[in-house]
Amino acid sequence: MDCYDSGECNSINVITRDNYEFLRDSYFRYSLLLQKEGVHMPGNSIGEGIANLYDEMNTLVGDELHVNIEQEAGRLFFRLWKYHKWGSFTLYYFPVKFLESLNPILRRIAITFIHKLMKANGIDTFVDYEESDFLFEMLSEDDGSDPEEWKERMKLLDSYQEGKIGRLLKRVESKSYYKNLPKALDTYEPQNGFEQPLVDAMKRGLPFLTPARGIMQYAYDAYYSENPDFHPMYLQQQIRVVYDINDIVSDYLVDYYNSCSRETYDITPVTALDLSPDTEELFSMDDYPERFFRWADEFISLIS
Residues 98 and 66 in one domain: no
**For residue 55, what are the domain limits?**
2-83
- The pLDDT score that the predictor gives to residue 10 is 58
Residues 36 and 79 in one domain: yes
- Bridge partner residues of 242 (DSSP): 95
Residues 255 and 185 in one domain: yes
- The pLDDT score that the predictor gives to residue 4 is 43
Residuewise pLDDT in 10s, the chain (304 residues)? 445 444 555 567 899 999 999 999 999 999 999 999 999 999 999 999 999 999 999 999 999 999 999 999 999 999 999 999 999 999 999 999 999 999 999 999 999 999 999 999 999 998 877 777 888 888 887 666 777 888 888 899 999 999 999 999 999 999 999 999 999 999 999 999 999 999 999 999 999 999 999 999 999 999 998 888 899 999 999 999 999 999 999 999 999 899 999 999 999 999 999 999 999 999 999 999 999 999 999 999 999 9
The count of structural domains within the chain is 2
Hey, is 106 helix, strand or coil?
Answer: helix
Q: What is the pTM of this model?
A: 0.92
Residues 251 and 133 in one domain: yes
Residues 127 and 174 in one domain: yes
What DSSP string runs through 70-95?
A: EEETTEEEEEEEEEPPP-SSSSEEEE
Residues 135 and 172 in one domain: yes
Residues 256 and 134 in one domain: yes
Q: Which of 23, 48, 83 is the last residue in one of the domains? A: 83
Under 8 Å between Cβ of 22 and 77: yes
Separation CA 235–CA 123 (nearest Å): 9
- The pLDDT score that the predictor gives to residue 11 is 65
**Residue 136 CA to its chain's centroid (Å):** 24
Report which DSSP code applies to 144.
S
Report which DSSP code applies to 219.
B
**Strand residue runs (E) in 92-206:** 92-95
Residues 45 and 153 in one domain: no
Separation CA 176–CA 181 (nearest Å): 9
Residues 64 and 109 in one domain: no
- The pLDDT score that the predictor gives to residue 9 is 58
Q: Which of 66, 83, 100 is the last residue in one of the domains? A: 83
